């Protein structure tokens, strides 16, 4: 019986590490697509290309596929945190306090940004500049929120692999704004330039300016 239990534990440990490697590889591919979009903005794959852009149908397909992969990678990191729970070796009170704080903040802040921007604009459909609510304190509240959820849940679960996978996944959310900002500038013009000057890219207090009034 002991040998069976030991074998099952080993299989579980190996399985978790395979999942972790798959999540890291997925994160690497997603970030590579963003880097391509930053280096080649005329052929960017993120944000969503528009009908008058070159090869827009193919690029839109890649864009949508990467969106699905982002969601699956994030959910995979959360699932891995559950499978690998209590492996971090951090005592319960601090990880519960910090983890729940990050998780609640991330979920609330990110969801408020998503609701405020709406489904269509969140998926890359051009629209008017949004500079109120969560967007007053961050140009990317949905990305900040996602990072908070990933890292907060990993801490709350006490999972070493979950935290590492969440960190790998968070690299995409930290890189995405650099691909999106030139696109937003083209669509929104000078008002977006003012917004750039007054609002932090990730999180902070708004600076004095038109958008902070």
- Burial class of residue 89 (count of CB atoms within 10 Å of its CB; 0-12, 13-18, 19+): exposed
Residue 189 CA to residue 128 CA, distance in Å, equals 11
- pLDDT in the model for residue 91: 83
- The 10s digit of each residue's pLDDT in 142-173 is 999 999 999 999 999 999 999 999 999 999 99
Banded pLDDT at 119 (limits 50, 70, 90): confident
Rounded distance between C-alpha atoms, residue 143 and residue 133, angstroms: 15
Model confidence at 11: pLDDT above 80: no
Instruction: Please check whether residue 50 is in contact with residue 125, taking contact to mean a CB–CB distance below 8 angstroms.
Output: no
Statement: residue 99 has pLDDT above 60? yes
User: Is pLDDT at 114 greater than 50 in this prediction?
Assistant: yes
- The residue that leads in pLDDT, 51 or 210, is 51
Confidence grade of residue 37 (pLDDT, cut at 50, 70, 90): very high
Supply the pTM of this predicted model: 0.88
Residue span of the structural domain in which 88 resides: 2-212
Number of domains in the chain: 1
Choose the weakest-confidence range: 83-87, 136-140, 207-211. 207-211
% of the chain residues with pLDDT over 90: 66
The distance from CA 70 to its chain's CA centroid, rounded to whole angstroms, is 8
User: Can you give the CATH number for the domain in which 46 is found?
Assistant: 1.20.120
Q: What is the pLDDT of residue 15?
A: 82
pLDDT of residue 12: 52
What is the band of 38 on the pLDDT scale with cuts at 50, 70, 90?
A: very high
Per-residue pLDDT of 44-65, as tens digits, reads 889 988 888 889 899 999 999 9
């Amino acid at each position: 019986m002991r040998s069976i239990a030991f074998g099952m534990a080993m299989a579980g440990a190996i399985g978790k590490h395979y999942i972790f490697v798959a999540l890291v590889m997925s994160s690497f591919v997603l970030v590579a697509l963003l880097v391509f979009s930053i280096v080649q903005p005329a052929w960017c794959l993120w944000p969503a290309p528009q009908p008058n852009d070159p090869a827009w149908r193919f690029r839109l397909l890649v864009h949508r596929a990467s969106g699905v992969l982002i969601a699956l990678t994030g959910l995979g990191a959360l699932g891995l945190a559950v499978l690998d729970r209590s492996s971090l070796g951090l005592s319960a009170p601090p990880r519960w306090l910090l983890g729940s704080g990050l998780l609640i903040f991330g979920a609330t802040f990110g969801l408020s940004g998503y609701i405020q921007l709406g489904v269509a604009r969140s998926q890359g459909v051009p629209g008017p500049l949004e500079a109120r609510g969560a967007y007053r304190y961050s140009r990317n509240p949905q990305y900040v929120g996602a990072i908070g959820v990933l890292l907060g849940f990993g801490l709350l679960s006490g999972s070493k692999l979950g935290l590492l996978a969440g960190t790998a996944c968070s690299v995409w959310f930290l890189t995405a704004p650099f691909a999106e900002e030139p696109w937003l500038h083209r669509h929104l013009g000078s008002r977006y330039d003012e917004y750039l000057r007054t609002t932090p890219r990730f999180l902070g207090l708004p600076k004095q300016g038109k958008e902070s009034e």
